[in-house]
Amino acid sequence: MKSTRLRLSIVSAEKSNFGAAAELAIRSLIANAPAASSLAQAFTASGFRLALVGGPVRDAILGRLGNDLDFTTDAHPHETKKILKAWADNIWDTGILFGTVAAKLGDVTVEVTTYRLEKYEENSRNPDVEFGDNIEGDLSRRDFTVNSMALELTGGEPEFIDPFGGLEDLAKKVLRTPASAEQSFSDDPLRMMRAARFASQLNFAIDPEVTAAMTAMASRISIISAERVRDEFIKMLMSENPRLGITILVDTGLADLVLPEIPKLRLEIDEHHHHKDVYEHSITVLEQAIAQEDRLGGPNLVIRLAALLHDIGKPKTRNLIEGGGVSFHHHEVVGARLAKARMKALRFDNETVDAVETLTALHLRFHGYGDGEWTDSAVRRYVRDAGELLTHLHVLTRADCTTRNAKKAERLARTYDGLEARIAKLEEEEELSKIRPDLDGAQVMQLLDLKPSADVGKALDFLMELRMEHGPLGEERATQELLQWWKARRHP
């Protein structure tokens, strides 16, 4: 595609409506991002060029510009660092070896990267970086054409640079690569994950040639570090349309390598052993959980992970029942173990791993509730086992109902309404979120004449079981029960 370098002072009747809209968006960017103008002045004063580049240019055209701005420059990194030190409130140079220096001024965060070319060797996890001498070369090494546009801010009037037809692809809502897709993914295999991520975030289609290259080269993702794969997966999962990205990962074979438990959910179904499409069910649960995220304060990574992974134990526990039907006994236990292992392999933090493991293990607990027969003791245990994840568990359990039978769905919702009401009533009466034994460790040691030991722990466990079974006992009754228990232990 022919290169486009558009001076903003020129207004041409031949421009498309979308081009005019892009021009207006860029004018708005200049007007509403004074940090960009002042930074450009600082680079100009030092004799260097500076251009806004990539995602911020794309987002400005789409009318969704944020406070994180990316720039490219002909200044080498140490020159950039000197300029930013004088311009910004804070700077950090952890990426300086790769040509990037970051800074913050007020609410605006910027990253300034020297023109560069980079690629991965066949089996390397780290890119080879070479600094370039022109912006077109820099744009040519970027992932997609819609991210290969720039706004040159130095040297006179701002200049819109679009060497690879990104503006047209943005109008068509399609993801293409500046170079051939094979070359692009060979240079940086993580771009295959980014394709799925941007499709989800922007609701764009992927060019068929790009999809074909992703499918043929999926195995190359194995040279990318787990942390970088995880970060792209999180961005995709936290988008407005994660179904699209997940489908792309599964259809191209990338999921077989980075999240193999998901494509395994596409279980074969025959005419004699009917069961719900577990893959489609899991995606639907994810979407239904997202619809309830206001209960969690907004987009929530833990609930999205738990919704997607809650049934990954089913393939390993699938059992064909004689005469028809399928069972998945204890799939929640197996699934919790698999979720923990996969998330650790992707280097998720321990808190997130533990939360998703817990929710996966508990996601069937409600179905032992029947039509409302749970005792107060069972409700207390439900709350205790969920702990701080109780609202997450509410969301997951409700989302897990994907039946098309309206009466069944209404009955399940009504039953869970009853459980939540029971929880609220007991919470008001007993402060369920602060369930503790009626006596503390110091009291136990004094009553039983014990020093800190395993026996103290066993005594507290006994008291906790009483508390769960009967509710608050009070110190007097708890003391009597404890002394009787201790006497029975010593003189069985």
CATH code for position 135: 3.30.460.10
**Distance between CA atoms of residues 214 and 454, nearest Å:** 57
Its domain, for residue 109, covers 1-172
Residues 222 and 299 in one domain: no
Residues 21 and 136 in one domain: yes
**Distance between CA atoms of residues 45 and 382, nearest Å:** 65
Token pair for residue 189?
Answer: 């295999």
Residues 76 and 106 in one domain: yes
Among residues 118, 143, 172, which one ends one of the domains? Answer: 172
Among residues 401, 434, 467, which one ends one of the domains? Answer: 434
Among residues 172, 187, 207, which one ends one of the domains? Answer: 172
Give the pLDDT confidence score for residue 205 in this predicted structure.
Answer: 97
Alpha-carbon distance values, 291 to 20, 152, 297 (Å)? 36, 41, 12
**Count of helices and strands (H, E) across the chain:** 23, 14
Give the pLDDT confidence score for residue 119 in this predicted structure.
Answer: 60
Side chain identity, residue 13: A
Question: Which residue in this structure is represented by tokens 């995709």?
Answer: 236
Q: Which of the 8 DSSP states describes residue 275?
A: -
CATH code for position 235: 1.10.110.30
Profile the chain (492 residues) by mean pLDDT over runs of 10 residues: 46 48 67 81 95 90 83 94 95 91 92 80 64 88 93 84 92 94 93 97 96 97 95 97 98 97 79 66 96 97 98 87 73 95 98 98 82 75 89 96 86 88 79 73 85 85 80 82 82 62
Q: How far apart are the first and last CA of the chain?
A: 89
pTM over cut 0.85 = no
Residues 329 and 418 in one domain: yes
Give the pLDDT confidence score for residue 22 in this predicted structure.
Answer: 64
Residues 131 and 51 in one domain: yes
Give the relative orientation of helices 406-430 and 390-399 as an angle to the nearest 10 degrees. Answer: 170
Give the pLDDT confidence score for residue 7 in this predicted structure.
Answer: 47
Residues 300 and 415 in one domain: yes
Residues 145 and 253 in one domain: no
Q: Which of the 8 DSSP states describes residue 132?
A: -
Helix (H) or strand (E) holding 122: none
Residues 221 and 249 in one domain: yes
CATH code for position 294: 1.10.3210
Q: How many domains does the chain have?
A: 4
Give the pLDDT confidence score for residue 402 in this predicted structure.
Answer: 87
CB 106 within 8 A of CB 146: no
CB 244 within 8 A of CB 252: no
Residues 229 and 120 in one domain: no
Question: Which residue in this structure is represented by tokens 């994810």?
Answer: 286
Residues 133 and 81 in one domain: yes
Q: How far is CA 201 from the centre of its chain?
A: 12
Q: Where are the alpha helices (DSSP H) in 238-349?
A: 242-252, 254-258, 278-290, 301-309, 314-317, 331-345
Residues 83 and 134 in one domain: yes
Give the pLDDT confidence score for residue 249 in this predicted structure.
Answer: 98
Give the pLDDT confidence score for residue 17 in this predicted structure.
Answer: 55
Residues 155 and 291 in one domain: no
Question: Which residue in this structure is represented by tokens 């079974």?
Answer: 469
